[in-house]
Structure 1
């Protein structure tokens, strides 16, 4: 019996109580789905619900009276072994072994579809993440967003959402000019400007720009007047840097559906149109020669200049136009992932959302990620051989590999800073969380191979009533939770819930492996218990693979 089937049984019991007058509720007040969850303590049963506490007041009775009536009705449902009323009216439900173990076959038969749900069905989501300036390699903070953002996209899609991964290409503004001046200076053997960029990558790109121009039969850009030379280095340097960023992300398993250029907002007139729309709504005013957006009407700490007194658009003007552009492209929810240094950005963006008549926190959602610290030999790692001042995506992948990097960055809540121990992440031991989970998957594959060698095959032999060992009950219960975990991770925008679930599942599997044999001892005869355990082994393998896939991490067959 799955949680959904149990929820349906509870709803049916409530509907029956209303129909025979036991429960004084209108028919439309009976919940269509009843939330059930795993009790923290195994001895409290397989599932628990507080639905009696939720409905009692409305029905004019006590929670315990509702719970006791439901307990009597549920006791007659096939597959339910016992129903206990606890405390003021909690229901603790125990399934019989056959009903619980049936899930193993369900998982195997559903395969890659197990865990998918429709919690976000019908929702179009624009998910913007990374969006690093094309002035240098992606640093470790951006790498965290690459891992978390891509995992979140996968989880949202598994929950039925239509997701567009978007990268905002900042090719407009002072940072690009500083980048071009840095390339030009390095190409001439001069030090970088005081406000410019350093690192070996600047020299590499500068040399590549010169070589590309000469190969195309163009003048050596170093011989051009500074203004012309800077434009060459700007155009070709940004293009080359962004190409490197896209290549590094692709190798990390992250590809975007849309690369949106900031310049487009200004060149297309999108900024002017967005400001005009807010002006029509009465949220724009003029003061001190500048154009302002009255964001204080929507909770911001101060009003914001949109067009400066010199006629140039302020940075927030691009934000206004970009948000409106996403909504006009038909996205229901706009999710933006930002670094810890953007906390002050949230209030003004939510005010922009509200000014357009949208709902902050729904139509616009902003996730703030905290810092990532790398440790090697117990000491902080702060410098990159190539970038000079920051640790980059390539540095992390070179140190631990893609799988360990993605998993370790996605397994913690973005609300907390994390310390990544590079030595730990390269260990083939249970201390290393990604190894622990991947090893569980490879162990399920080895069990399959051993079973085949002893002619233990699933076939049609499946007797879930034989799954009576306490480790089997724990493992089946954990497998049952996977769809709920995926839906919850999507709803809360928290991919780390999937990773932590996988670690718990791996732990349950390793314990089961030590206690219950799939293959018989020596000359012992193969029984349906062995075959049924093979179903459970294969169900675990499927869920581990499905979960790792949601995090963009491989499920290896050998370790």
Structure 2
């Protein structure tokens, strides 16, 4: 179960509570879930009960209790706990990681695309300044990835600090990253450092991480290790425990794309790709057997997780108009 799936599950619980008369409130358009904070339980939490308490004329604890009754036993949820003044905390089932990997595998580069903005029509002004044009083009793509009808020929403008688009000097990928990685209202990144193959170069890290995934898949095939997430085994569970950071960023990807579209902020996608790359690079050394170690279900599961990370990196880079090389 992804955070987006969990958000929809909680929203459906609110709607059911309203439909059966347990709550008298307007159903919100969406419900926010986030990773559980210190003092909470499980992996994710939501403050929706606190938000609904006042319009419902009830305490947040009462509202949380109503929602908990309708969330227990939902697919993908192992447990629902109420903490503090009325926070809902969610513990996901052990196979949630496997479900996530399989969802990413099925969706491919379209993982994170959705219909949350279906029915929304956005028309941007035809801009000529080079950075504004690049940013607006990417925002149009992000909006379309979430179901919106987006294009040009209108009046909306994104506030963008001007910057030179220099594909002839930097190459297409570095030129676009320099304009998109910084927030639109901030100064664009300096171009020359983006051409250096070094870990301090954020573009290099992201593209290198994707290339590492491709190499892991090739090396795995040579060792007879094929990607297959096997959560039924103890070694499959071990994968969950060894890569919580990577699982977290992969699960967050749909929310990041939707938020970037809503806020007209391609830099959020770029930053998320950096976080994904960093988590993958920290995890990569555990993926394949080392030395005399024999291939196992754990290695197949880890390779499947790495492959999912590569898919997210490729899909995100594609939305930014940047290539994802198989080797660097």
User: TM-score w.r.t. structure 1 length?
Assistant: 0.53
Distance change in 2, residues 1:416/1:455 (3 Å): same
2:10 aligns with: 10
The question of 1:145 aligning with 2:132 is answered yes
**Partner residue in 1 for 2:112:** 115
Can you list the C-alpha shifts for 1:193-213, whole angstroms capped at 9, x where unaligned? xxxxxxxxxxxxxxxxxxxxx
RMSD: 2.7
Q: Which residue of 2 aligns with 1:491?
A: 262
Corresponding residue for 1:81? 78
Match of 1:528 among 253, 277, 297: 297
Per-residue deviation, 1:455: 0.8
Contact kept, 8 Å, 1:467 with 1:473, in 2: the verdict is no
Q: Counterpart in 2 of 1:557?
A: 326
* 1:39-58 correspondence runs (5 A): 39=36, 45-58=42-55
Match of 1:463 among 231, 239, 246: 231
Q: Greater shift after overlay, 29-38 or 427-436?
A: 29-38
Q: CA deviation at 1:397?
A: 2.9
Q: In the aligned structure 1, how far is the partner of 2:199 from the partner of 2:271?
A: 14
Gaps of 5+ in 2: none
1:232 corresponds in structure 2 to: none
1:187-235 CA-to-partner distances (Å, cap 9, x unmatched) read xxxxxxxxxxxxxxxxxxxxxxxxxxxxxxxxxxxxxxxxxxxxxxxxx
Report the Cα distance in structure 1 between the residues aligned to 2:151 and 2:19, rounded to whole angstroms.
46
The answer to whether the 8 A contact 1:442-1:555 is kept is yes
Q: What does residue 402 of structure 1 align with?
A: 172
User: Paired residue for 2:186?
Assistant: 416
Matched, 1:61 2:48: no
1:510-529 Cα shifts (integer Å, max 9, x gaps): 12224x32x22344332222
DSSP-derived class of the 1:94 partner: strand
Q: Tell me which protein shows more strand as a share of its residues.
A: 1
Counterpart of 2:160? Answer: 369
Note the 1:196-345 alignment, pairs <5 A: 326=153, 334=154
1:101, 1:467 within 8 Å by CA — same for their partners in 2? no
Deviation string 1:375-404 (CA, Å, 9 cap, x unpaired) is: xxxxxxxxxxxxxxxxx64xx334422111
Summarize deviations over 1:430-480 as a string: whole Å, max 9, x none: 111111111111111011111111111136x63276244444222112111
| Residue 437, structure 1, aligned to residue 169, structure 2 | no
